[in-house]
Amino acid sequence: MNEVYKQVCPGLYFVEYDDFDFDKAAEWANKRFFPEGPFCSAVRKGRYAGRNMDILSEFKAAVIMLMKSSCARFSSLNTSEISLFPAIQDAIESQERKDVYYKLPQMTYDGINEKGVTAISLMTSNGNASEDKSKWGGREWGKSAAFTKPDALKTYSTTLLVRYVLDNAANVDEAIELIKQVNWFDPDRFTWRNHAGALKWLISDPKKSAVVEFIDNEIKILLTDDVNRPSLRTLAANFSQYLMEKGIVQYDATGYERFDLMCDLYKNVDDSIDGIQSVLRSVMMSEKHKRNISDKYFFATEYMWDESPTGRHFNAEEIYQGNARHDPDFIKIVELEKERHYNKSLRPKNYRTHVTVYTTVYDMAEKKLWILLNEGVSDSKWYEFEFLNK
């Protein structure tokens, strides 16, 4: 029997598509979807772009998808994470093209197409919805507008943006123009600490890099052709790059520390696959509980607000500006958090552990993908994929 899902190693599968209908995918994604995350870091340097996929530790497996040109304008290599689809195990065992087979490409988190365009999605704070701090607190649950174009002929969930770009864009400029022609909305109950959340994107081609965000129902774009310098246009984490450039630190955002650490390391590595892999490895969240309170990269994740063992809550401004690290309660929180991270019996029922489950790196010149599984596998090594029809 010809395998539909080819196992590369435990926790990693490869699937080829020569039949996929984006419009039908949009019908499903536009009706109802419940994503939770992902928290992530992303880097663009020279000919390479890559990301850490940081999600809840219930990770089951990753899928590398080869979308052939018969599916869209351009063929692409891309990834998805299958813990969102409980039926996947039955599909793998039966090797049948069941419903889940056609849903996987809809949840494309990152990828590269045959023109060397890469698109990477990241989650950001619900405060991203507005520049007005008095309005921070999240969009309403439901189909909340991210960007409205009155004369647009198409309306899509933001979870489809990576798929849309990879299928249709030949470069960054074309990707931006395509995005501007669509009504985009945040999917039903796209949650970030029980509020509506938002996605953002790092989009690259061999010559340019751009961070795309939706704020106040407008598209905010940070674009550069200086792809060898660390900036808000070549690095991304879980906060609004646009607001950060204006000097605004979001109360409930995360990732500022990871961003600073990536900036520092970025300057000291060369433009090579090893260089970008080392930057991403440095901010893998599987290492977060091994850091010391005095380190630049400390424990600024969601438990600081939702799970504070001392009852104190520190917002991102306090933490990022460094004031919190000198507060005895903050130090106590960190020490307690480290303890209950390792001792599951101390965890509350709603305790959530986010870890880096995989890392992907794309070569925009050679049109290649490398993936490293970081959790639940014994042979942690980079696996390489490339277009079969080059």
End-to-end CA distance of the chain: 27
- Residue 20's CB is within 10 A of a number of other CB atoms, namely 20
Work out the average pLDDT over 140-164.
83
Token pair for 343: 């001792």
Helix or strand (DSSP H, E) at 147: strand 144-147
User: How many CA atoms within 13 Å lie on the side-chain side of 285?
Assistant: 30
For residue 161, give the amino acid letter. L
**pLDDT for 387 beyond 80:** yes
Q: Check: pTM over 0.75? Answer yes or no.
A: yes
- Please tell me the distance from the alpha carbon of residue 50 to that of residue 110, in angstroms, as a whole number: 9
Rg of the chain (C-alpha set): 20
Work out the average pLDDT over 35-47.
80
Q: What is the per-residue pLDDT across 161-178, written as a single tens digit (0 to 9) for each?
A: 999 999 999 999 999 999
Q: What is the per-residue pLDDT across 305-364, written as a single tens digit (0 to 9) for each?
A: 455 666 777 777 777 776 777 788 877 777 777 777 667 777 766 666 677 889 999 999
